[in-house]
Amino acid sequence: MTAAAPAALTHEQIGVLARAVSRAPSVHNSQPWQLRVRGTEVDLLQRRAVELRRHDPFGRDRLMSCGAALTNLELAIRTLGRDCHAEFQDGDDVVATVTIGRPKAASTQDYTLFQAIARRRSHRRAFYHGRVPPGVRAALVVAGETTGVHVAAPAHLDKLAELLGFATRVLRDDRGYQRELAMWTAHTTVTGDGVPEEALSSEALPVAGLVRTDTPVPDDVVLADRLAAENLLVVCTDGDTRAEHLAAGAALQRIWLTATAKALAGSVITQPLHLTGFRARLVSEVVLPGVPQAIFRFGYPAVPAAPSPRLPLGELFRNESSGGLR
């Protein structure tokens, strides 16, 4: 007797997926993704119209943002009690397809990470002084490690301080970058995307709160001391392909949700990584196990962070005859 095919999701279950995907982190909170539901298959698409030509000229951060959304999508499906399998795609718009399988109870870990989705915030301000316990740091590393993706604490903080200080000065004086950043930090309550002004702070590590014209840049020695007081992890990949950018974003989100579940907050630094030659110097001078895709700073928040605005859920679905919310 042939077993029945897996059932398609209901409208209510699709709504669960949509809310989970909408809460994923993204570059400048641009939310560059859409969904297309086709029975028991869900396509995750990138919105190419979302362009950050100065910050993200090659779309690498956009793909990592989609990778983070993919992690949320898979967690939501599993928490609904269904098995699933994701495959990266090489199409221009479709970045991954998730196939929904038969009923399967969610693991405790998946459920814990799913519950953390709504609580995750981008904390660009200072943390309480003090190191995160080694066991907690190790759990974050394990959460992000997967085939082709490596997570490491940066060594040689004096070199890292020198590089970040240089990058901050360059970005601070880049008028094109500053104009683009100003566009993404204005009117966020009206548009539903972008970075709220109140989320930015000059008290945090330079480049952690996005570099503006008034961002202070301490000398390299002071910056190295501040880096030593931070908790930092670098997400690296074996190569620098589209699939690896997606994998890095998915791993970064697993790290972030694990941190959230352990009462930590975090934020991501990618701005300097787009400067010509910066990543190559980071690999050689800071000693990293691969190509750096993102720096994750984390700790116990001194003040709570407010949630970022979100686009209406209706904009999350691609309006095509072959898919959509149905």
Dig out the tokens for 145 from the structure.
Answer: 């490690």
pLDDT greater than 70 at residue 188: no
The pTM of this model reads 0.94
Interval 1-17 mean pLDDT = 86
Q: What is the pLDDT of residues 290-316, one digit of tens each?
A: 999 999 999 999 888 888 999 999 999
- What domains, with CATH codes, occur in the chain? 11-121+308-316 (3.40.109.10), 134-299 (3.40.109.10)
Interval 99-124 mean pLDDT = 96
> Judging by DSSP bridges, how do beta strands 33-38 and 94-103 pair with one another?
unpaired
Residue 81: Cβ within 10 Å count? 12
Core vs surface per residue 173-198: b (16+ CB within 10 A) or e: ebeebbebbeebbeebeeebbbbbee
Among 111-120, 184-193, 211-220, 287-296, the range scoring the smallest mean pLDDT is 184-193
324 burial via Cβ count (<10 Å: 0-12, 13-18, 19+)? middle
Interval 215-221 mean pLDDT = 89
Q: What is the pLDDT of residues 243-270, one digit of tens each?
A: 999 999 999 999 999 999 999 999 999 9
- How far lies 79's CA from each of 13, 19, 103, 161, 252, in Å? 10, 13, 10, 41, 20
Q: What share of the chain is helix, strand, coil (3-state, %, to 5)?
A: 40, 20, 40
pLDDT at residue 4 in the model: 74
List residues bridging with 297 in a β-sheet.
232, 267
**Do the beta carbons of residue 61 and residue 184 sit within 8 Å?**
no
Taking the CA atoms of 265, 34, 186 and 175 in sequence, report the sign of the dihedral they define: positive
Report the candidate in 15, 7, 14, 11 with the shortest Cα–Cα distance to residue 40: 7
